[in-house]
Structure 1
């Protein structure tokens, strides 16, 4: 399995998230502008709620932008040990240590994208093929690292 393809799929998903959040922020701002009429104080609460929603969306957008920046630091090179950018096959599944994105499908294979800060990635960190690690009361073996 080509690591460059995996990285491209992850980058595309993150870019899509950014685009959706930017659109949501823009639509919410437009809604906020629509309520700026002279209808009185009872609409101030609605405007404040819309502003809070914009703020929440902005926080989410900033997090996804951080993920995008982090992805740009990952090189599609082969890895000898479990580290940022490694594709790790265990007895339980295939993991890409990059950003917390959940499950993706590449070339018909399910890959779980996890952050290096996740408990699973921390448990595997620095290990090599045929080594064992323990997480969530389960022992797993690293079968392969790419």
Structure 2
């Protein structure tokens, strides 16, 4: 499986996600300005709710920008142990350690993207092919690391 292709898919997903958040923030700000100019003080609560929504969207945008920063540092070089940038096949699934953007499909195979901060990755970090690890009482065996 081509790790560079996986990385490109993740970069595309993150770029789309960032663009979506930026658009939502702009639309919410515009609606907040409309509320401010056309309505009186009794709609202060509505404006506050819109501001909270903008803050929430901004937080999600910042998280996506942080993920984009992390992805720039990911190496596609082969590895003999589990680390950031590894593609790990276990008896339970295929995992790409980078940032978490959910399941992606590459070469007609499902790959779950996971963050290095996830409990799954922390449990398998530093392990080699043939090693086992457990997460939530589920034991998995590492079959292959790329």
* TM-score grouping bracket, smaller chain normalisation: over 0.9
Matches within 5 A, 1:67-106: 67-106=67-106
Shift of 1:38: 5.0
TM-score by length of 2: 0.97
Q: Give how far 1:37 is off.
A: 2.2
Structure 1 unaligned segments of length 5 or more: list them.
none
Aligned-partner SS, 1:96: strand
- Deviation string 1:51-102 (CA, Å, 9 cap, x unpaired) is 1110110011001100000000002111111000000000000000111111
Hey, what does 2:7 align to over in structure 1?
7
Q: Take 1:39 and 1:98, find their aligned partners in 2: how far apart are those partners?
A: 47
Task: Give me the TM-score of the superposition, normalised by structure 1.
Answer: 0.97
More helix by share: 2
Q: In structure 1, the residue corresponding to 2:92 is in which secondary structure?
A: coil
Please, which runs of 5 or more residues in structure 2 have no aligned partner? Answer: none
TM alignment of 1:1-146, pairs within 5 A: 1-146=1-146
